[in-house]
Amino acid sequence: MNRAFANLRHRACRRWEAFQGDPRPRILVGTATCGRSAGAMEAWNAFRQASDARGLDAMLVEVGCLGLCYAEPIIAIAKPGMPMVCYGQVTPKRAAELVERYLGGNDPAAEYALGTVSKGRVDGIPPLFDSPVLKPQVRRTLRRCGWIDPTDIDHYLAHDGYAGLVRALDAGPETVIAQVQAAGLRGRGGAGFPTWRKWRLCRDAPGEEKYLVCNADEGDPGAFMNRSLLESDPHAVLEGMIIGGYALGAHNGYIYCRAEYPLALERLRTALGQAEQYGLLGDDVLGSGLSFRITIKEGAGAFVCGEETALIGSIEGRRGMPRPRPPFPAVAGLWGKPTIINNVETLASVALILQDGPERFAQYGTEQSKGTKTFSLVGQVRRPGLVEVPLGITLREMIFDIGGGLIDGRPLKAVQTGGPSGGCIPAALLDTPVDYESLKAAGSIMGSGGMVVMDDTTCMVDFARYFLDFAQQESCGACPPCRLGTKQMLDVLTDLTEGKGSLEDIDLMGDLAAGVMRASLCGLGQTAPNPVLTAIHYFREEYEAHTSQKQCPAGVCRELIAFRIDPERCIGCAACKRACPVDAISGRPKEVHRIDQAICTRCGACLEACPPKASAVERIPGRLTPMDA
């Protein structure tokens, strides 16, 4: 082992052992963005105040995201002589109670516990990783997330951190590329192109100056895999970048991260400073002669800058707009030099492969889709969060085993994968394996890992309109097929949601989509019609209902629904009348009320205000005349 690294590792392990063996109780608080938005910092302050009030000298440590978003804020308590216990939904009041009952007493408050983490048992609390949400997962890229302090490089070093870099330096660039190939790693950013092949193209490209870029411009609605990894384990990404730069023969790297990720950027800058201080970045890395530096470039949040050539233009100081290819960036990229662009998870996977060997990485997944993959599981699912599973797991297992099924037990309607570039997969295809080939065959893509679950209250016409509106607004405008074609498709979809469309419009969208996909300059335009096409393919009857029947079966499209009061159930409480913003409801107290359909704006305020015991207000999937009401 490299002597300089051995010294770093030895010191880090001693610090970690001292941290673990400290006689004070340890309180790990998940303070990634998801935890903070749920009140993690308020819980932190409550723990500190309650501990001080009782005279307890407790260590409070900020850690990253465990992935259980439904249970945030999450904290873990390690009491001397006891297994670590993980707790969920820790409000300031609950934090003070945990200090009183568990830290100051012997009651572990099992009713608040998610599970035990370390060896040993606590009565009434099962092991955390035997829980339904975690048992099916294989946490490899996320293995340190939520358990180490992301701002302490020694925590990373004590858990095999930068061991992959040392092995890479010992093996040589060619062996590094061969190991990435043996692992079967495919790009985790969307298309799934073999990582080793991109690297080989760049390494073999002529020229002394080459660049490696980490694409952290995560722009898909509902996706937060990259942000969580950067906030929870930033050194894993840096290690992957240094290994990649060494394999390519590059001496400079860039991290392109959107400015909307302030915490990720803060922790990245801290990690960069630490890596430079430890001799892991900069000139003569670990005495090997390798020179590699990393610069952070903040993006302005343009979705199109996730496309490689647009991202390059943004780093160079130009407006982020795609350019025609070839030449591909691996041959002529940043400032005309050979450039590789990999996303956050891809680079973290590179570090993992070099740390543990390609065989262990490849033992998971399928023949063509190796390894594990992180997903943000969101939407109408009971347990939303960040998950990591072997590729090849089915959508059914993802949604019902890990996600716990749908909220309120409603029936599943569809799952959208791949963000605005992906597609909608119906409930009938729930047993589709989650891998590159199977999702493509179903009309969707893997994308970066966003997965949105929809129940029967989702209107597939409005859903497609939402994503097409997103793609249309994010179009850079460089090419007419994307700029004008997506606008025309959006206009047709808007007409459908307002009851102005015809059956011919459904086929017209198919023709428009074909032109947009065939003639657009970059991946944004080429894939923007995917949500629309898959929605029409699998839910055509819903589109036809919007045209021929002028109805929204899901009761979502405002122009195609109505609200009425059932006279048999109305108790005359006037709650709906008080809630109506346009005074469309009439009726005396304790008498049946009525909605004037000529005035009603279909905002739904009356439905929300109606007492549950009465439930007299009904949403009708269709228009009503004053006579109908």
Average pLDDT over residues 365-394: 97
Pair 620, 564: CB distance under 8 Å: yes
Q: Are 358 and 183 in contact (CB under 8 A)?
A: yes
Q: Give the integer Cα–Cα distance in Å for 476 and 468.
A: 14
Q: Sorting pLDDT into bands at 50, 70 and 90, what band is 626? A: low
Q: Which CATH number fits domain 162-361: 3.40.50.12170, 3.20.20.70, 3.40.630.10, 3.40.50.11540?
A: 3.40.50.11540
In this structure, what DSSP letter does residue 398 have?
I
Tell me, what's the pLDDT at 219? 85
What does the alpha-carbon distance between residue 532 and residue 530 come to, in Å, rounded to a whole number?
Answer: 5
User: Can you give the pLDDT at residue 482?
Assistant: 93
Q: How far apart are CA 498 and CA 532, in angstroms?
A: 17
Q: How far is the C-alpha of 124 from the C-alpha of 120, rounded, in Å?
A: 12
Asked if residue 387 has pLDDT above 60, the reply is: yes
Task: For the chain, give the percent of residues with pLDDT over 90.
Answer: 92
Measure the CA–CA gap between 147 and 156, rounded to whole angstroms.
Answer: 10
In the β-sheet with 339-343, what is the strand arrangement from edge to edge? 293-299, 252-258, 211-216, 339-343
| Res. 186: pLDDT tops 70 | yes
Residue 625 pLDDT > 80: no
- Taking residues 69-83, report their average pLDDT: 95
Neighbours of 601 (CB within 10 A): 12
Provide the 3-class DSSP secondary structure of residue 286: helix
Burial string for 163-196 (b: 16+ CB within 10 Å, else e) reads bbbbbbbeeebeebbbbbbbbbbbbbbbebeebb
Angle separating helix axes 3-21 and 163-171, nearest 10 degrees: 160
Is CATH 3.40.50.300 the right assignment for the domain spanning 561-620? no
pLDDT one-digit tens code per residue, 319-339: 999 999 899 999 999 999 999
The arithmetic mean of pLDDT across residues 372-386, rounded, is: 97
- Residue 511 CB coordination number (10 Å): 9
pLDDT tens sequence across 438-471: 999 999 999 889 999 999 999 999 999 999 999 9
Q: Which long-range contacts (CB under 8 A, 24 or more apart) does 17-24 make?
A: 19/155, 22/59, 23/80, 24/57, 24/58, 24/59, 24/80
Mean pLDDT over 178-195 rounds to 94
Q: pLDDT tens for residues 535-546?
A: 999 999 999 999
Nearest-5° Cα angle at 435, 482 to 386: 85
Q: Which residues contact 149 (CB under 8 A, 6 or more apart)?
A: 61, 62, 63, 155
| Rounded average pLDDT over 75-91 | 95
Phi-psi region of 421 (alpha: psi -120 to 50; beta: other; left: phi over 0): alpha
In three-state secondary structure terms, 111 is: helix
pLDDT of res. 437:
95
Cα distances (Å, whole numbers) of residue 555 to 230, 597, 604: 40, 16, 11
Contact 376, 450 (CB under 8 A): yes
Contact 561, 555 (CB under 8 A): yes
Domain with CATH 3.30.70.20 in the chain: 561-620
Q: How far apart are CA 613 and CA 593, in angstroms?
A: 16
Q: What is the DSSP letter of 411?
A: P
Confidence check: pLDDT of 286 > 60 = yes
Count Cα atoms within 13 angstroms, Cβ side, for 328.
9
Report the alpha-carbon distance of residue 525 to residue 517 in Å, rounded: 6
Sign of CA dihedral 444, 445, 447, 450: positive
DSSP 8-state class, residue 344: H
What is d(CA 417, CA 450) in angstroms, rounded to the nearest whole number?
6
Correct CATH for 3-130 of 3.40.50.80, 3.40.30.10, 3.40.190.10, 3.40.50.720: 3.40.30.10
The 10s digit of each residue's pLDDT in 517-537 is 999 999 889 999 999 999 999
Let me know: does 611 contact 579? Beta carbons within 8 Å: no
> Does 629 have pLDDT greater than 90?
no
User: How many CB atoms lie under 10 A from the CB of residue 544?
Assistant: 15
CA gap 398, 450 in Å, rounded: 12
Flag the least confident range among 511-520, 550-559, 617-626: 617-626
What CATH number was assigned to the domain covering residues 372-455? 3.10.20.600
627, pLDDT greater than 70: no
pLDDT of residue 439: 95
- What's the confidence (pLDDT) of residue 624? 73
Which pLDDT score, from 0 to 100, does residue 220 have? Answer: 87
Whether 389 and 138 have beta carbons less than 8 Å apart is answered as: yes
pLDDT of residue 81: 87
The pLDDT > 70 percentage for the chain reads 99
Q: What is the mean pLDDT of the chain?
A: 95
**Domain 460-547 class, CATH top level:** mainly alpha
pLDDT of residue 119: 82
Number of CB atoms found within 10 A of residue 502's CB: 13
Compute the average pLDDT of residues 123-136. Answer: 95
H/E stretch holding 413 reads: strand 412-417
For residue 2, the model assigns a pLDDT of: 86
**Host H or E run for residue 490:** helix 480-497
Ranges of H-type helices in 184-330? 195-204, 225-232, 234-248, 262-277, 308-315
The whole-number average pLDDT for the span 315-320 is 94
In tens, the pLDDT along 253-277 reads 999 999 999 999 999 999 999 999 9
First to last CA, the chain: 81
